[in-house]
Amino acid sequence: MIKNVISISAGEYARMFPEASTVFGSAAFNQLNAGKAERVEYLVGTEESGRPVMGLVVGLRDGLWWAPFSAPMAGLSWNRNPSLASVGDFFAGVKDWLAPFPLRIMMMPEFIDPSMTAKISGTLINMALEVIAEFNYHYDLTLFPDFETHLHSNARNKFHQAQRAGFTFGECDIARAYEIIRANRSSKGYYLAMTLDDVIATSSVIPIDAFILSLGTDDVASAIVYRIAPGVAHVVYWGDAPGYEQSRPMNILPYHIFQFYHALGYRIVNIGTSSTDGIPNHGLCNYKESIGCTTTLIPVTIF
């Protein structure tokens, strides 16, 4: 049982939790991004003996504690397999420690650890003053050998068009991939949260793969992918260059990415959420479903 919740240094946290549930829970990642919050706390729930059981990294911004404060999912860690009672004790202690400011937690996808995410999500939902459901999409790589079978009919037609176009695919440096993403977001008027320098700095604490899809001498689509947990890759950015949509690059880029990680023995490529504050972007949802992705709910709780 957890008896105490305390705040410790990043270095102590790294020693207590050398293997976070995902890279977003590592002390190194959160230290790198500490400037994006007014204050960062590394909270640990310990047994009476002092043994660490669970940990959470939070950042304070505008009168609200955020977990995550600069990532797509909360930075949670645990040792062994904490009981449901321990999970409840931990978050009760976290709530008391962080008072008077409320805490907003966006959970990790259930495939990270189905048992623990169920315990944590259920506990948080029962404690919450407010709950928002975000819609997450991932590709189960056990489906990849039958990739076309799992495509929707319109996506299958576009995939065949892309196959005939003569694209080439390969790994590239981060800057080359980022330039396509920058052009894509700029052409659509979308905000790009990370600068090139941010992505390069992140590569010092997270293994990053960058990919390019080319047509002749032209770069037409790219992806930047983090390796976030054993067997799990997370697409941070992907997109096509303006003017190439009719060649259907975004209907063949996923195929190559899934093939790459399937060959490495990975089990999941996480594509991420397609909603904001619970409001779905139906265009993105339809696209991800059309290429064979699975939909799961990500609870966001405030308490």
Listed residues 98, 127, 156: the one ending a domain: 127
| 97-152 confidence digits (pLDDT tens) | 999 999 999 999 999 999 999 999 999 999 999 999 999 999 999 999 999 999 99
Q: What is the pLDDT of residues 12-31, one digit of tens each?
A: 999 999 999 999 999 999 99
In a domain, 164, yes or no: yes
Please check whether residue 132 lies inside any domain of the structure: no
pLDDT in tens, 176-186: 999 999 999 99
Residue 302 is assigned to a structural domain of this protein = no
Classify residue 206: in a domain, yes or no: yes
CATH number for 93: 3.40.630.30
Residue where one domain finishes, among candidates 95, 127, 159:
127
Q: Classify residue 96: in a domain, yes or no.
A: yes
For residues 168 and 281, membership in a common domain is answered with yes
Spell out the SS3 assignment of 124-166.
Answer: HHHHCCEEEEEEEEEEEHHHHHHHHHHCCHHHHHHHHHHHHHC
- For residues 163 and 27, membership in a common domain is answered with no
- Do 152 and 260 lie in a common domain? yes
Shared domain check, 205 and 122:
no
Cβ proximity of 67 and 58 under 8 Å: yes
Does 251 share its domain with 287? yes
Residue 224 has a pLDDT of 99
- For residue range 139-156, list pLDDT tens digits in order: 999 999 999 999 999 999
What are the residues facing 272 on neighbouring strands? 137
Q: What is the pLDDT of residues 44-63, one digit of tens each?
A: 999 999 999 999 999 999 99
Shared-domain flag, residues 111 and 188: no
Asked whether residue 264 is assigned to any structural domain, the reply reads yes
Looking at the fold, whether 121 and 144 belong to one and the same domain comes out as: no
| Contact yes or no for 104/249 (Cβ under 8 A) | no
Regarding whether 165 and 111 lie in a shared domain, the answer is: no
Mark which of 127, 151, 174 sits at the end of a domain. 127
Say if 262 falls within a structural domain.
Answer: yes
Tell me the whole-structure pTM to 2 decimals. Answer: 0.96
The range of the structural domain enclosing residue 237 comes to 137-296
Both 161 and 282 in one domain: the answer is: yes
Question: 198-208: buried (b, 16+ CB within 10 Å) or exposed (e) per residue?
Answer: bbeebeebbeb
The β-bridge relationship of strands 275-276 and 279-280 is: antiparallel
Phi, psi (5° rounding) for residue 186?
-65, -40
pLDDT digits (tens, 9 = 90+) for 265-278: 999 999 999 999 99
Spatial CB neighbours of 53, under 8 Å, sequence gap ≥ 6? 2, 45, 46, 47, 78, 79, 80, 82, 86, 90
Residues 22 and 143 in one domain: no
Asked if residue 292 lies in contact with residue 150, where contact means CB atoms within 8 angstroms, the answer is: yes
Query: How much of the chain exceeds pLDDT 70, in percent?
Result: 100
Number of domains in the chain: 2
- Residue by residue, DSSP assigns 278-297 as TEE-HHHHHHHHHTTPEEEE
Same domain, 93 and 190: no
Nearest to 120 by CA among 144, 98, 94: 94
